[in-house]
Structure 1
Amino acid sequence: MPQLTIPDVIAPDLAVLFCGINPGLYSAATGHHFARPGNRFWPALHLSGFTPRRLRPDEQDLLLDYGLGITNLVARPSARADELTPAELRAGAARLTRLAAEHTPRFVAVVGVSAYRTGFARPKATVGEQPERIAEARLWVLPNPSGLNAHYQLPALAAEFRALREEAMGSRPANGTSGVP
Structure 2
Amino acid sequence: MLLIPFNNFVLYPALQRAGVTLTALRKMGAGIAFSGLSWIVIGSLQLIMDGGSVIAITWQVLPYALLTFGEVLVSATGLEFAYSQAPKSMKGSIMSFWTLSVTVGNLWVLLANASVKSESVTNKIAETGISVTAFQMFFFAGFALLAALVFALYARSYTMQDHYRSTTP
Q: TM-score, normalised by structure 1?
A: 0.24
**Structure that is richer in strand per residue:** 1
**Structure that is richer in helix per residue:** 2
- Tell me: higher relative CO, structure 1 or 2? Use CA pairs within 8 A at least 6 residues apart: 2
Q: TM-score, normalised by structure 2?
A: 0.26
